Amino acid sequence: MDFMSTVKGSLLEDFYPEGWDMKKIDECCEKGTAREDFWNKDFCPIACESINDFDTFMGHEIALQIKQTRENNQKLAIILPVGPMGMYKWAAYFLNEWNVACDHVTTFNMDEWADGDGNTLSNDNPASFEYSMKEAFFGKLKNTIPENQRNFATKTNLPTYPEKIAKLKAEGAKLVLVYGIGRMCHIAFWEPHFATDYKNVEEWKNAPYRLGAKLHPLTIEQNAITSFKSRTTLVPCRANTIGPALFLQADYAIGGADGALGRGMGWQGMSFLTTLHYGPDMHITSTFIPTMPGKLFYLKELAGPLVAECN
């Protein structure tokens, strides 16, 4: 007995997004990190033995992009997540040690909690992503990113992202995407069930953002576990988010999968392995990630084998 043999007639029969091939997803869970033909030649998953290694390696990679563009006299546009978060203290540490000025950097936070109209939390609310970024990164930099070059996904500012990023790229800026992979394989809060709103993959790829987007129930539960100490009642059911038209145009991507919970438990193994092996499909957002150049840092245990255990 398994999911596929018992789902018909159950409460989960129509729960997962349309277009998900659960048998194919299950097969992905057996493949570890073996390279696929559809991967970009410059895409590389990097195993981390511990969460300390993960935070350090990922922080170093972010800091290195800022340092290298500075040395090349090149502007940097960087799309940032709130989650994972541990890498930011290390990014700040390296940049401070190297004494790198960051006034060539423009940041774009990829998403923010919102209501149905796209209104967001105030920036002094500890649950807001803007507050989190100031505490975790911007406030720790000696030569920090100018405030007028920090963009957050508010109702009025998110719609300006496409034009701002296009202008920076026209000026020779490098666009870097930093991301985590959601339980539902989202990038930012671009959920897989959004795919049914588009005629084809090309139309889907041209979508720049959404205001007040409806989040999947498992996204809510993921955030309840990882950010709200299991308190589902605190998690907003909607968010503002960038879309594929922005994150898929990145010149380089830095990803993280750190979803291990201890005692053999984890929430991100299937999402990570599906990302690596399923193949690009607009119904599973993160499957486009391996087609982009960059590094995906992951906790070693997420690579499997993903099997039942007696705890």
> What's the pLDDT score for residue 263?
84
- Taking a C-beta distance cutoff of 8 angstroms, is the pair 256, 54 a contact? yes
Model confidence at 259: pLDDT above 80: yes
**Domain definitions of the chain by residue range:** 42-302
How many angstroms separate the CA atoms of 120 and 111, rounded? Answer: 10
- Taking a C-beta distance cutoff of 8 angstroms, is the pair 89, 185 a contact? no
Model confidence at 174: pLDDT above 70: yes
- The CATH number of 42-302, from 3.90.550.10, 3.40.980.10, 3.40.50.1360, 3.40.50.300, is 3.40.50.1360
How many angstroms separate the CA atoms of 286 and 244, rounded? Answer: 10
Residue ranges of alpha helices (H) inside the chain are 3-6, 22-28, 51-71, 87-98, 129-136, 161-170, 201-205, 217-227, 244-247, 269-277
Q: Indicate the pLDDT class of residue 66, thresholds 50, 70 and 90.
A: very high
Q: Indicate the pLDDT class of residue 207, thresholds 50, 70 and 90.
A: very high
- Phi, psi of 200, rounded to the nearest 5 degrees: -160, 175
Closest by Cα among 91, 121, 122 to 107: 91
> What's the pLDDT score for residue 309?
60
| Number of alpha carbons in the 13 Å side-chain half-sphere of residue 268 | 26
Q: Residue 108 CB: number of other CB atoms within 10 A?
A: 25
> What's the pLDDT score for residue 35?
96
- pTM of structure: 0.96
Model confidence at 148: pLDDT above 90: yes
Q: Residue 1 CB: number of other CB atoms within 10 A?
A: 5
Q: Indicate the pLDDT class of residue 308, thresholds 50, 70 and 90.
A: low
Tell me the pLDDT tens digit for each residue of 223-235. Answer: 999 999 999 999 9
Dihedral sign for Cα 215, 121, 118, 168, please: negative
> What's the pLDDT score for residue 306?
79
- Taking a C-beta distance cutoff of 8 angstroms, is the pair 294, 280 a contact? no
- Taking a C-beta distance cutoff of 8 angstroms, is the pair 271, 278 a contact? no
Closest by Cα among 255, 271, 279, 276 to 306: 271
